[in-house]
Structure 1
Amino acid sequence: MNDLNQNQNVNQPQDNEDLETIMKVLSFCIPLAGAILWYINKDKAPKKSKAACHMALYGLALGVVLQILATVMGIGAASLSN
């Protein structure tokens, strides 16, 4: 049973090209798009899917850091309601 699962993608050629720059920027700015690109390319183009995943994670991490900084500096949405 495990042999069937392991040999499932043997006949499919894998794309070894890197993800296009515009798609990297899109994945960085919109992490959900990066997650979708990862899911679409995970089996047929592992290098592209890895790049999309990394850029989405970098964009998400930067967003969290900027949100923490904005909250600490008091320029978050709560300070605008006064």
Structure 2
Amino acid sequence: MDLTTNKRENIEFMLEEIKKKLQIVNAGALNSKSFDTDQYEDLRDIYEMIKKKNSFSVSELDAIVSELGRLRK
């Protein structure tokens, strides 16, 4: 998938992958409609960082979830 293009489908894909990788229980908190395309680059940065790591500490998870919350509309 080409994530260089700022498209709604790419946002949906990245959020689904983030939910899977982080095993987020409250998946509704990361609804793609809650994210504006203006934050696309920030979301992609988070996605790429998450895909590179195999595991996360509790503080890393907290920071990631906080940042995703900040990006929401």
TM-score, normalised relative to structure 1: 0.26
Q: Which has the higher contact order (CA 8 A, sep 6+)?
A: 2
Could you say which structure has the larger radius of gyration? 1
